[in-house]
Amino acid sequence: MTKETILSCSTITKNFKSEAGDGELNILQGVDLQVKQAEIAAIVGSSGSGKSTLLHILGGLDRPTSGDVFWHGESIYTHKADKLAELRNVNVGFVFQFHHLLPEFTALENVMMPALIKEDRFSVAEKRATELLNRFGMAERLHHRPSQLSGGEQQRVSMARALTNNPSILLADEPTGNLDEKNTDTILNLLFQLRETEDVAIVLITHENEIAEKCDTLYTLQNGVLELNENGA
């Protein structure tokens, strides 16, 4: 059975003005990418190679200088800003190296937030958030604020939040970058389980080749060019 392409981009370029103001930096140069349903794709590259920039463009958080991004075959740039934000909230889950949890809210409230933004009923949002946190081993920490959680616990809350609206794709930017080996293994195991339990596709940015080689597809971003490696899992 042929799996649906969830996310793709075509000839993406991204240029920034140099700090000296005397030219442009070409961060991305004609990037093409396709991610299918339940596929885990890793992107590796040196620091400053543009990996995070590409992920932000794929998720509609930033616009390319040229090129296009498609969710389920539909260009995201045909929509106005408010409609794009709505589509992003429903279709895409984000997990970052720094968790970006709201400090004044509990773990449960943080996970509920995307559903409440979507205007789900409070009881529905609370039930979904509780189920996700329980699945991620956070049943005893539902009412703790981020400052009361360890780094690994905060990342699990972040992952639960990313899944609240049942997105078709998860964009993860160095999700284990600040974690020790034990918590890294926990987060990675959860990510790979999500493919099975949620049928979600994942784009994973990592600087760890050992992690990347476990993924279905492995890309290297170097000098603004994205290349498919032949040794993906």
Mean pLDDT along residues 222-233: 76
**pLDDT at residue 19, rounded to an integer:** 67
Token pair recorded at residue 119: 């205007």
**pLDDT at residue 20, rounded to an integer:** 64
The pLDDT tens digits of the residues spanning 126-137 come to 999 999 999 888
The pLDDT tens digits of the residues spanning 95-106 come to 877 778 899 999
Domain count, the chain: 1
Classify residue 184: in a domain, yes or no.
Answer: yes
**pLDDT at residue 50, rounded to an integer:** 84
pLDDT at 212 over 90: no
Classify residue 120: in a domain, yes or no.
Answer: yes
What does each C-alpha distance from 216 to 12, 21, 103, 132, 155 come to in angstroms?
23, 41, 35, 25, 23
CATH number of the domain encompassing residue 45: 3.40.50.300
Classify residue 68: in a domain, yes or no.
Answer: yes
pLDDT at 214 over 90: no
Classify residue 204: in a domain, yes or no.
Answer: yes
The pLDDT tens digits of the residues spanning 163-192 come to 898 888 999 888 777 777 887 788 788 888
Classify residue 32: in a domain, yes or no.
Answer: yes
Q: State the Cα–Cα distance between residues 128 and 125, nearest whole angstrom.
A: 5
Classify residue 30: in a domain, yes or no.
Answer: yes
Token pair recorded at residue 62: 């930033």
Instruction: Report the sign of the C-alpha dihedral through residues 85, 89, 91, 93, in that order.
Output: positive
Mean pLDDT along residues 43-58: 87
pLDDT at 232 over 70: no
The strands making up 74-75's β-sheet, listed across from edge to edge, are: 24-36, 5-17, 66-71, 74-75
Q: State the Cα–Cα distance between residues 111 and 208, nearest whole angstrom.
A: 28
Q: Which has the closest alpha carbon to 86: 130, 37, 125, 119?
A: 119
pLDDT at 1 over 60: no
DSSP 3-state of 65: coil
Classify residue 218: in a domain, yes or no.
Answer: yes
Classify residue 233: in a domain, yes or no.
Answer: no
Whether residue 20 contacts residue 50, with contact meaning beta carbons closer than 8 Å, is answered with no
Q: Strand 217-222 to strand 225-228: parallel, antiparallel, or no bridges (unpaired)?
A: antiparallel
**pLDDT at residue 21, rounded to an integer:** 65
Q: What residue numbers bound the domain in which 203 lies?
A: 5-228
